[in-house]
Structure formats: C-alpha cells, structure tokens
Copies of this chain bind each other. A is one copy, B any other.
C-alpha cells in the first residue's frame, strides 16, 4: 500500500493515543490545520485502508448506542511511521494564497484598493496568529516540545506576515518624500541579502 502524507498524519495522530476518526479531525483542526488540512472525506476511507493494510487496529468503543471506533497503531504501523519520520528527504513547502495573487497583480488598481487589500491581509494573519495562540495547549501530561515549537512557528509566521502587510499599507498610505530614507520595515528581513535592491 502506497502511504501518502495524509496517511502519515493519521498514523501520527493515532500514535498519540487511541482515537476515532472524529477525534483525529478535532485534533488536526486544533493543531495541524494551519499547515496540513484534512477532511472527513479523506479520514474515514483512509483509516479503513490503513486497517486493511495492517497499520492500525480498531476497537469498538460505543458510548451507549452511539457508535465509536477507536484506532491504534500496530507494530507495522509504528514502523511505517518511524521510517517516515527518519526519512530525511527534502520536500518543498507549498503555499497558495489568492489574496497574494491579487496583490501581485494590483499595480493597475487604485492606491486605496491596494491599501485595503494589504490591511485585509494583515488582519487575516493577525486573526490566524491569535487563533493559534488561543489554541488549547496539547495535553501537558506528556511533554510535546516539538508540537509546541510548531505552534510557536505558526504564531510567529502569521505575526510576521501581518507585520509585513501592515507595514506595506503604511508605506502606501504615506509615501516618503523623494530622497528621504525609507523607514525600516517594522518586522522581518534581517536576513538573506535581497535582490540587488532594484
């Protein structure tokens, strides 16, 4: 069986403890959603496939007459997850952002519209950051430093983006008089030599 990244998300979640498909969705929405979304339409069929492939075991755990199927890793599943985690292949990060696409093509629209777009983008990222910040910290019974790091990453990333777009909107709102030095960007850009500063 060909395991996809989504399979590994499921295996990884199930490794955290016995879980139902519903549990996995809740957990993923509360943690991996910002860099790996997942829907029921993938979860339930894929869990069945993983069971068939001997990667997870299921146990009925109905509450009253409300059905509930818990999943846990088998040895095969543990090994598959472990192999994946140890694999050091470098894969590219994928980003898709309709608003950024708009911004890219917005040289032809009025300045007011550009500013509004930038502000909306800033707000979007500000909200994403505070959404993550509010996120229930995963169980503290077991230490999970990496999960915390990834959470901090998300918060930091969205904050950086929000700062960038707010700064852009500021600069569009009050263009500096010709010949005067640009005020430095509030946020990032310490690193990584820009392109010959065109």
- Residues of chain A having any CB pair with chain B under 8 Å: 5, 8-9, 12, 15, 31-32, 34-37, 81-82, 84-86, 88, 90-109, 113-114, 116-117, 120, 123-126, 128-130, 132-135, 137, 140, 143-153, 155-164, 168, 185-196, 198
Contact = CB atoms under 8 A, between A and B. Distances in A.
Describe A's contact surface by its main secondary structure: helix
A96 B160 contact: no
A133 B95 contact: no
Contact of A93 (B99, B137, B155, B191): B99
Contacts of A186: 190
A96 B92 CA distance: 9
A88 B168 CA distance: 17
Given A9-B101, A93-B161, 4 more contacts: A88-B116, A104-B147, A153-B164, A187-B190
A80 to B, nearest CB: 12
